[in-house]
Structure 1
Amino acid sequence: MTEHSTHTAGVALVTGGSRGIGAATARRLASDGFDVAITYVSGEDKAREVVSAVEAAGRRALAVRADSGEPGAIEAAVARTANVLGRLDVLVNNAGEFLVAPLENITLDDFDRTMAVNVRAPFAAAKAALEHMRDGGRIINIGSNIAERAIFPGFSLYSASKAALVGLAKGLGRELGPRGITVNVVHPGPTDTDTNPADGPNAETINSFTALGRYASPDEIAAAVSFLASDGGRYVTGTAISVDGGFSA
């Protein structure tokens, strides 16, 4: 029988944590000693799997159904995390809306939805988290390599939304610095997920744009989040870290 330490590094909330990078991040933070809450919109079975993995690591887990595009949903998820798990030390804004289309095909409703999920929700989550986060907390936003290098047409809206997170990190990093709360962005490159599989039809072309010639695994992105959430990342704030295999080089 495996024994687990009762010590906890704190409590982390990972939005969009039921699959892909979010799920890998939730599992990694649990292995680092955090109790972990996740949000999800659909795929309750996947959310349960992540909860089970966190609990198997000896940590407490919570899954909250919340659509980051709905006003008030993310604030409610933050409050529930703090109420159920007792505190909030790390916020990982991972939930995202991904739309690729020519400008003429993008509607204002598309714009509003993308900005609501990718920009407004991280802002609202950070604002809500401050009511519960102690000095020395961490806010980590998951951006995209497309914010640094949009190599294909059709990425204008998505790129703009992810680039906005860099400005948010700079502003909040400066504002929250006196409390020792760091705010950063992790820009993943091509990552092997359900929505962008490493064996997909465009994978060979995408691989050719990276220096390493391959996709990342979600665990490799989660490792960067883990560093920023750790004691070793306490002097990193207001910046973006690209984990993209040299895509932006």
Structure 2
Amino acid sequence: MLGEMTLTAYGASKAALINLSRFLATQYGTQGIRSNVIGFVLSDNAIETTPQAVKDVLRDHHLNPELGSPRDIANVVAFLASDESRFINGAMIPVDGGFTAHQPTMVDFQRLFQAPGSNQL
């Protein structure tokens, strides 16, 4: 979903799956077959084995006060599998606490402007 300096193969395979979903939606949508992708960031459960420095970065860039849970992802899966989502096809739905909704420099600028007397550049 976003470029970064590491995990190149992981990022490329993620992009390939997103595009595969779009191709499937295009090829089979008229037959009533939908294909969508859910993009998510580590949940509280998976983060237990993650180093603290990585946790801090992830928490800094979440727009929600907490990391998500497997249930948050399951709720979107259930919705996409239901008839209520019948008009959603070929989409990538982020379930990431706003992680991909902002510029990666946002946290650094917040720190800059939170410093006393730093409300202007």
TM-score range, shorter chain: 0.7 to 0.9
Stretches of structure 1 lacking an aligned partner (at least 5 in a row): 1-147
Highest relative contact order (Cα 8 Å, sep 6+), 1 or 2? 2
Tell me the SS of whatever aligns to 2:36.
Answer: strand
Distance 2:51 2:11 in 1: 21
Aligned-residue CA RMSD in angstroms?
A: 1.8
Q: Name 2:43's counterpart in structure 1.
A: 191
Alignment: residue pair count: 100
Higher strand share: 1
| Alignment TM-score, normalising by the size of structure 1 | 0.38
Which amino acid in the other structure matches residue 45 of structure 2? T
Q: Name 1:149's counterpart in structure 2.
A: 2
* Of 204, 216, 219, the match for 2:68: 216
Which amino acid in the other structure matches residue 242 of structure 1? P
| Alignment TM-score, normalising by the size of structure 2 | 0.74
Instruction: Quote the offset at 1:199 in angstroms.
Output: 7.2
Distance 1:169 1:230 in 2: 18
The answer as to 2:16 corresponding to 1:159 is no
The answer as to 2:87 corresponding to 1:235 is yes
Deviating 4+ runs (over 3 angstroms): none
Instruction: Quote the offset at 1:150 in angstroms.
Output: 3.9
Stretches of structure 2 lacking an aligned partner (at least 5 in a row): 102-121
* Of 168, 180, 192, the match for 2:32: 180
Question: Contact 1:192 / 1:217 at 8 angstroms: preserved in 2?
Answer: yes
Higher helix share: 2
Distance 2:87 2:74 in 1: 19
